[in-house]
């Protein structure tokens, strides 16, 4: 080929390369402009939502709502972008079949979150719990459960399953079906306060997993007994007075403590703890103060989240709580199931009856704190 032909071919190659580079730059610019416009308009719409205190234009079904975000006009035609809203909470409901003890039953997962994640290749599964809140009744177990469920790496059954004390014969498969779906890296938890005082439970939990972490919410045993009595008497009008039930033969503070009476029996913490220590080392147990969950929930939850126990980052802090002076209990700014401030329940913070001072002092001598 002549020198002139070579020069012409080189010129053509340079022009082709230049045109290709220019086309690539135009594509990048158009993509950047489109996304910048989308982000700008989305931010503008969200600011309008906050300023008006209401929702943007919602369409779709109640379970999978979407927001229509206004965009720019093109050739006189108004355009808009649809942003799908995926709830981040699990709203599973009990399959009626499982109420009949059917081991093949499951929980119906009502949240679009997990359907969405499955489309992305992430499949949540139900597994046996890594940690259990095993007690004690009227110690603050419900508060601990609701507080720990604020953590994104914890998934907990909302109701008490009573597997280890009532339904153990149904098998571990039945128990697993009652757990919430979790992703890799999330902890599964369950709470049943009667586990702590039921004789057979420690060995049964050990058979499930000897590495299970155990959380025990303890409270001053006398205050706990009075709270227990208050709850029961609210449902059974006409019950005998506390002093008559807590002591043998109704002798009051001058008699012997009746350790067979439920509210007193639970408070003999050392007796129940001894059974657990036969199956689990003390390092696998965390004792949570029921009193501190009330007066300083953020500090107590910092202990629960410690890395060397549950292995969680500290996410739950003061910003998650506010104090209800009327009930005398901390409340949540939001929770797993609600995005608005609310308290734990109407029954929390009941007024305790007046108990004879001598009876209280006698019980404090008999029931030392753990």
Reduced to 3 states, what is the DSSP secondary structure of residue 286?
Answer: strand
pLDDT in tens, 179-207: 999 998 999 999 999 999 999 999 999 99
Q: Lowest mean pLDDT: which of 24-28, 43-47, 216-220, 299-303?
A: 43-47
Instruction: Average the pLDDT over 251-266 and give the result.
Output: 87
pTM of this prediction?
0.68
pLDDT score, position 120: 59
Question: Does 221 score more than 50 pLDDT?
Answer: yes
Going by pLDDT thresholds of 50, 70 and 90, the confidence category of residue 165 is very high
Number of other CB atoms surrounding residue 207 within 10 Å: 12
Question: Does 243 score more than 50 pLDDT?
Answer: yes
R_g (Cα) of the chain, nearest Å: 30
DSSP labels, 342-368: B-S-TTTTPPPPP--HHHHHHHHHHS-
Sequence-distant (6+) residues with CB within 8 A of 169 are none
Sequence-distant (6+) residues with CB within 8 A of 215 are 131, 132, 133, 134, 144, 285, 286, 288, 304
Question: Does 170 score more than 60 pLDDT?
Answer: yes
Nearest Cα to Cα of residue 195 among 168, 220, 172: 168
Q: What is the CATH number of domain 127-366?
A: 3.40.50.300
pLDDT score, position 65: 41
- β-strand partners of 331: 322
Instruction: Average the pLDDT over 121-139 and give the result.
Output: 92
Sequence-distant (6+) residues with CB within 8 A of 104 are 97
C-alpha 207/C-alpha 361 separation (Å) is: 41
Question: Does 366 score more than 60 pLDDT?
Answer: yes
C-alpha 125/C-alpha 46 separation (Å) is: 34
Q: Lowest mean pLDDT: which of 14-18, 178-182, 263-267?
A: 14-18
- In the chain, the percentage of residues whose pLDDT exceeds 70 is 64
Residues recorded for the chain: 370
Q: Which token pair is 144?
A: 């601990």
pLDDT in tens, 86-119: 333 333 434 333 444 433 333 344 445 555 555 5
Sequence-distant (6+) residues with CB within 8 A of 171 are 103
**Domain assignments of the chain as residue spans, ordered by start:** 66-119, 127-366
Question: Does 129 score more than 70 pLDDT?
Answer: yes
pLDDT score, position 93: 38
pLDDT score, position 27: 54
pLDDT score, position 268: 95
Nearest Cα to Cα of residue 215 among 292, 132, 282: 132
Q: Which token pair is 15?
A: 């022009």
pLDDT score, position 71: 46
pLDDT score, position 76: 54
pLDDT score, position 254: 67
Q: Which token pair is 185?
A: 């890296």
Question: Does 152 score more than 50 pLDDT?
Answer: yes
Q: Lowest mean pLDDT: which of 53-57, 114-118, 122-126, 309-313?
A: 53-57
């Amino acid at each position: 080929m002549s020198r002139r032909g070579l020069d012409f071919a080189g010129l053509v190659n340079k022009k082709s390369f230049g045109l290709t580079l220019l086309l690539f730059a135009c594509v990048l610019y158009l993509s950047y402009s489109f996304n910048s416009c989308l982000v700008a308009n989305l931010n503008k719409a969200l600011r309008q939502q906050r300023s008006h205190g209401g929702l943007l234009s919602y369409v779709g079904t109640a379970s999978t709502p979407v927001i229509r975000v206004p965009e720019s006009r093109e050739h006189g035609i108004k355009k808009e972008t649809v942003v799908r809203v995926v709830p981040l909470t699990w709203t599973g409901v009990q399959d009626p079949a499982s109420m009949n003890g059917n081991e093949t039953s499951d929980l119906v997962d009502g949240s679009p979150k997990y359907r969405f994640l499955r489309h992305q290749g992430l499949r949540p599964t139900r597994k046996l719990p890594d940690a259990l809140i095993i007690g004690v009744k009227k110690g603050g177990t419900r508060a601990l459960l609701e507080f720990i469920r604020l953590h994104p790496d914890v998934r907990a059954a909302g109701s008490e399953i009573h597997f280890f004390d009532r339904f153990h014969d149904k098998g571990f498969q039945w128990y697993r079906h009652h757990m919430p779906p979790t992703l890799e890296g999330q902890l599964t938890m369950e709470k049943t306060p009667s586990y702590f005082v039921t004789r057979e439970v420690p060995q049964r939990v050990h058979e499930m997993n000897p590495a299970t972490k155990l959380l025990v919410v303890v409270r001053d045993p006398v205050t706990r007994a009075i709270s227990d009595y208050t709850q029961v008497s609210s449902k059974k009008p006409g019950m005998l007075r506390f002093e008559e039930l807590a002591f043998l033969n109704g002798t009051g503070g001058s008699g012997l403590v009746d350790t067979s009476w439920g509210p007193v029996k639970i408070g003999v913490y050392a007796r129940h703890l001894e059974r657990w220590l036969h199956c689990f080392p003390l390092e696998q147990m965390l004792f949570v103060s029921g009193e501190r969950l009330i007066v300083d929930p953020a500090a107590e939850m910092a202990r629960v989240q410690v890395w060397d126990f549950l292995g969680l980052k500290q996410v739950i802090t003061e910003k998650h709580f506010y104090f209800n002076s009327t009930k005398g209990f901390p409340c949540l700014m939001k929770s797993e199931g609600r995005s608005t401030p609310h308290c734990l329940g109407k029954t929390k913070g009941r007024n305790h009856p007046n108990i004879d001072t001598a009876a209280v002092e006698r019980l404090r001598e008999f029931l030392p704190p753990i």
